[in-house]
Amino acid sequence: MALKGSGMTVAAFLVLAGLYVPRRIAPADDSSSQFNITHQMVPMRDGIRLHTSIFVPKEKPGPLPFLIVRSPYGLDDDPHLLQLLDTSYADLARDGYIFVFQDIRGRYLSEGHFVMQRQPCPAGEARCVDEGTDAYDTVAWLLKNVPDNNGRAGLFGISYGGWLTAMAMIHPNPALKAVSEQASPDDMFLGDDFHHNGAFRLSYAFEYAAMMERGKTNNLFHFTDYDTYDWYLNDLGPLSNANRLYFHGQVPSWNDFVNHPNYDSFWQSQEVSHFLTRVTVPDLNVAGWWDQEDFYGPVKIFEALEKHDVQHWNFLVAGPWNHGGWAEGTGRQLGRIDFGSDTGEYFRQKVQAPWFAYWLKGEGRLPFSKALTFQSGTGKWIAYDEWPPKKGIRERKLYFRSGRQLAFSPPAGGANGFDSYISDPAKPVPYRHRPIEETYGTGSRWYTWLLEDQRFVDNRPDTVSWQTPPLAQNLAISGDIVAHLFASTTGTDSDWIVKLIDVYPDIDRQDLSMSGYELIIADEVFRGRFRYSFERPEPIVPNKITAYTIDLHTTNHCFLKGHRIMVQVQSSWFPIIDRNPQKYVPNIFLASGSDYIEAKQRIYRSRQFPSYIELPVAAIRRHLKTMSALQGF
């Protein structure tokens, strides 16, 4: 089945993003004649053997480098892997590599015990094993046992595969000469799969843990409702029901969620960037502006490595993609948004293939200097010497004003200027159009929900919006976006969800079907209890005006002339984010139904309490010059 607008089959997406369940299929063509395929059980230093498939091209003269993909999701299906080599990896296959696909320990055909995001070994513990040591030992075995190799290896992967790539960078095998960490999580409490700013990502975390930790192969959770909004609200109810009714203490990750509701050493010790205190191998970090799972991670890993990049080995690419959307298909369209060019093909042909050819084969040149990002709106790729850029950037404050307006001038009203709404946990705001299918189920629209038209919540009484008049000229933002809210609640805890939105013209002459479309450009949730510390949460003082600083992360977007800029604020985003009881309890995972209460929320927009969005506005003259310089890139 094709994912709408992505040009990618569900199976292809899942294997590339790390969630493919192998199935036996006939080869699409006779591509098997192009490779000699062997399957090996490769021994690790502790004796555990990992299932490894090796594809050696028959007609490419050696010696050749290795390109390695490691995954927890099943890589034992030769026909499908051959199909990948014909499609997603076609540009790499044409250049000539020995491709290696490996099941990590404890998954599918590999031996050992699986641990979700196994922590790296402490320095000096020779008998310890982790994903980094397994990658090291795999490279060592390949060098010794696969003939006609050139002594160099590359490693890349998406999502969990990206995280496995990052683990291999900490203490790499000397033969590992280049990697591409793509959509790797960095911090599972602050910004990636399981939490954002301490707010629990309920539907994703519940379904992912259920899939991964109930056997050696992927096992999707069985829902009794097609619309999981209803199931999570009524069948599951409070999070305390998950173990009592469904998991019964048998899903390790869920037990970890319950036992570690705050940013304690359990979460802190898993932060990838904490271990990246040096750049050990050239790394191509890849992120998608509309990645519904791991956008935070690759950008944070890039930023961490950038502090230590004395050899100029750290690079970033960010494009108009969802999770793994650069890996297959043209990349021209995502959901209903047409980006005007084949961005996925461009990445694979002009960036990824030259990257590995340069480092592993000594051919060509590096495809860009430091960072390459796609500017949505104008549809242009722009190269930068740093990211986020500083030259030509002016930080401007876009203020919330009366009459649901936004303006670059501060409000002049008195202290009581505010907009308000009622947040009711019994009627949470859906995060996407209903029905909300299970995350990886048939027909799921999970993959493109961040591009859905936000008008479906415009008229809800528990969401408030502000917007500018139509823009008189283009306004480009390049870099980090930060929301500064002054807010109060009648409860003792609260979530604050902020969305920066590009509102298309009321009548869009370019495409009438896009008239009035509300496209999310940046977004984030913040759990109020963590406003002072993620380690030590505190109740909110009811009715007290409190300042919240919410990082909406980085982007490169141009709001075009005639478009409007909108900001939406709400206090629920269900069921991707669990319901905040709005009554402070020490551990929301143990809350009962009676703890969930209504709360009246106020967002202030006065001279004394001016809520605003801080935007990195790019100078038009420099912006146009930069684009012009790239015409022949």
CA pair distance 205, 503, nearest whole angstrom: 31
Nearest to residue 158, comparing CAs of 217, 37, 249, 73? 73
Q: Omega into 61 within 30° of 0, i.e. cis?
A: no
- Cα–Cα distances in angstroms (integers) from residue 143 to residues 66, 136, 137, 175, 391, in the given order: 9, 11, 10, 9, 45
Amino acid 467: pLDDT: 98
DSSP state of 122: P
Q: Where are the domains of the chain?
A: 10-189+267-367, 195-266, 393-627
CATH number of this structure's domain 393-627, picked from the four choices 3.40.50.300, 3.90.550.10, 3.40.50.800, 2.60.120.260: 2.60.120.260
Residue 150, SS3 per DSSP: strand
- Cα–Cα distances in angstroms (integers) from residue 26 to residues 38, 80, 83, 87, 324, in the given order: 18, 8, 10, 16, 25
H-helix segments, 30-114: 78-86, 90-95
Residue 535: how many other CB atoms lie within 10 Å: 12
**DSSP-assigned beta bridge partners for residue 317:** 286, 372
Amino acid 62: pLDDT: 87
Fold of 195-266: alpha-amino acid ester hydrolase ( Helical cap domain) (1.10.3020)
CA pair distance 580, 346, nearest whole angstrom: 42
Phi-psi region of 149 (alpha: psi -120 to 50; beta: other; left: phi over 0): beta
CA angle 415, 551, 306 (to 5 degrees): 145
Q: Phi and psi (nearest 5°) for 549?
A: -110, 120
> Cβ(75)–Cβ(81) under 8 Å?
yes
- Cα–Cα distances in angstroms (integers) from residue 496 to residues 199, 406, 512, in the given order: 10, 19, 33
Residue 556, SS3 per DSSP: strand
CA pair distance 542, 492, nearest whole angstrom: 6
CA angle 240, 242, 244 (to 5 degrees): 80
CA pair distance 428, 511, nearest whole angstrom: 33
User: Can you say whether the dihedral through the CA atoms of 587, 590, 592, 596 is positive or negative?
Assistant: positive
**Which residues in the chain show pLDDT less than 50?**
1-30, 621-633
Token pair 């001038």 in the structure block, residue: 409
Residue 426: how many other CB atoms lie within 10 Å: 10
Q: Which CATH architecture has domain 10-189+267-367?
A: 3-Layer(aba) Sandwich (3.40)
Cβ neighbours of residue 267 under 8 Å, at least 6 residues apart?
Answer: 187, 188, 189, 260
**DSSP-assigned beta bridge partners for residue 373:** 318, 382
- At position 304, the amino acid (one-letter code) is A
Q: Which two tokens stand for residue 359?
A: 């480092």
CA pair distance 118, 123, nearest whole angstrom: 15
pTM of this structure: 0.93
Residue 554, SS3 per DSSP: strand
Q: Which two tokens stand for residue 418?
A: 């505010």
Amino acid 32: pLDDT: 59
- At position 263, the amino acid (one-letter code) is Y
